[in-house]
């Protein structure tokens, strides 16, 4: 039997890391496009933008709008997305097994997302995670968001764990930049959302992993 253990606190990004939210985002975008008489966008067109946040998705879905018009659409996008939360996109395959394995090992896990906190909090009970997630920080919970290290440092500190004893798992460059700035080891989640020009091997993560199932082996985590 391996003596390796999971990190005592694992912090996860949400969209593109724990949750395959791209289909929910696609339903949101297509509702807005239908309201404007525009045809549906395809999943493969929207998916690469999902971890870059609502503004990036709006820019991808409505390239004809100027900056001010896109900004006006942000609250409308978020309110439409509230109707689609966890309706079309489940956690990625292997995520439930991984969270269960961390818990069975006596470890804790939490979420640090750039999504507005109220939306992330609405998702927790829909996913059955409300009593299991030890800490949740959203993009508007603190004065700074990822790639700033503050959300990761705050999450670790709130549970009295040193940053170097945590690991952050995320699918976007800003996730890895935030972890590095926080002095926290990081895992690049290659199963998530990326643009063709993104180069995850250059982000400086400690390990790159292809599937949540790969992390079921404690030896796969940063040493
Ligand atoms: O909504 C966003 O900005 C993306 O969310 P994430 O940080 O969970 O990937
Ligand atoms: Mg993400």
Establish if 4 belongs to a structural domain.
no
Residue 177 CA, ligand 2 centroid: distance in Å:
13
Predicted ipTM? 0.93
Please state the atom number of ligand 1 nearest to the C-alpha of residue 50.
Answer: 4
Are 51 and 151 part of one and the same domain? no
pLDDT the model gives residue 4:
67
Q: Quick check: CB of 151 below 6 Å from ligand 1?
A: no
- Among 149, 178, 21, smallest CA distance to 92 is for 21
The residue among 48, 66, 82 that closes a domain is 82
Are 138 and 153 part of one and the same domain? yes
Q: Quick check: CB of 14 below 6 Å from ligand 1?
A: yes
Look up the CATH number of the domain holding residue 125: 3.40.50.1000
Domain limits at 113?
9-20+90-220
The residue among 58, 82, 106 that closes a domain is 82
pLDDT the model gives residue 3:
57
pLDDT by residue, tens only, the chain of 223 residues? 455 689 999 999 999 999 999 999 999 999 999 999 999 999 999 999 999 999 999 999 999 999 999 999 999 999 999 999 999 999 999 999 999 999 999 999 999 999 999 999 999 999 999 999 999 999 999 999 999 999 999 999 999 999 999 999 999 999 999 999 999 999 999 999 999 999 999 999 999 999 999 999 999 999 8
* Ligand 1 atom 3, closest CA: 53
Instruction: Please count the other Cβ atoms lying within 10 Å of the Cβ belonging to residue 191.
Output: 19
pLDDT the model gives residue 223:
86
Report in angstroms the alpha-carbon separations of 67 from 10, 24, 46. Answer: 37, 24, 19
Q: Quick check: CB of 141 below 6 Å from ligand 1?
A: no
Exposed (0-12), middle (13-18) or buried (19+): which is 1, by Cβ within 10 Å? exposed
Are 156 and 206 part of one and the same domain? yes
Is 15 annotated to bind a ligand? Reply is yes
Q: Quick check: CB of 114 below 6 Å from ligand 1?
A: yes
DSSP reduced 3-state for 12: strand
Longest Cα separation, the chain: 60
Rg (CA), the chain: 17
Q: Checking DSSP bridges between strand 207-209 and strand 166-170, what pairing results, if any?
A: unpaired
Cis peptide bond upstream of 147, omega within 30: yes
Residue to mutate (ligand 1; options 14, 49, 55, 57; most atoms within 8 A of CB)? 14
Ligand index nearest the alpha carbon of residue 198: 2
Are 15 and 26 part of one and the same domain? no
Establish if 3 belongs to a structural domain.
no
DSSP reduced 3-state for 207: strand
- Among 77, 69, 92, 93, smallest CA distance to 33 is for 77
pLDDT the model gives residue 1:
46
Is 66 annotated to bind a ligand? Reply is no
Are 36 and 74 part of one and the same domain? yes
Q: For residues 217, 219, 220 and 223, what is the CA-based torsion angle, rounded to 10 degrees? A: 150
Are 26 and 106 part of one and the same domain? no
């Amino acid at each position: 039997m391996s003596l390796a253990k999971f990190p005592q606190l694992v912090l996860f990004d949400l969209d593109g890391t724990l949750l395959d939210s791209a289909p929910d985002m696609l339903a949101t975008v297509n509702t807005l496009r239908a309201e404007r008489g525009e045809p549906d966008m395809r999943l493969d067109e929207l998916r690469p933008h999902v971890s870059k946040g609502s503004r990036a998705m709006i820019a991808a879905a409505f390239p004809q709008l100027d900056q001010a018009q896109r900004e006006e659409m942000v609250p409308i996008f978020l309110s439409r997305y509230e109707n689609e939360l966890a309706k079309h996109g489940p956690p990625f395959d292997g995520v439930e097994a991984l969270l269960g394995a961390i818990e069975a090992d006596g470890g804790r896990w939490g979420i640090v997302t750039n999504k507005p906190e109220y939306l992330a909090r609405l998702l927790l009970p829909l996913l059955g995670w409300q009593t299991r997630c030890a800490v949740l920080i959203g993009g508007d919970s603190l004065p700074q968001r990822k790639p700033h290290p503050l959300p990761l440092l705050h999450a670790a500190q709130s549970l009295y764990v040193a940053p170097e004893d945590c690991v952050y798992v995320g699918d976007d460059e800003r996730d890895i930049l935030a972890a590095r700035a926080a002095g926290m080891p990081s895992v690049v989640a290659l199963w998530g959302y990326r643009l063709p020009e993104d180069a995850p091997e250059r982000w400086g993560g400690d390990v790159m992993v292809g599937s949540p199932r790969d992390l079921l082996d404690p030896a796969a985590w940063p040493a």
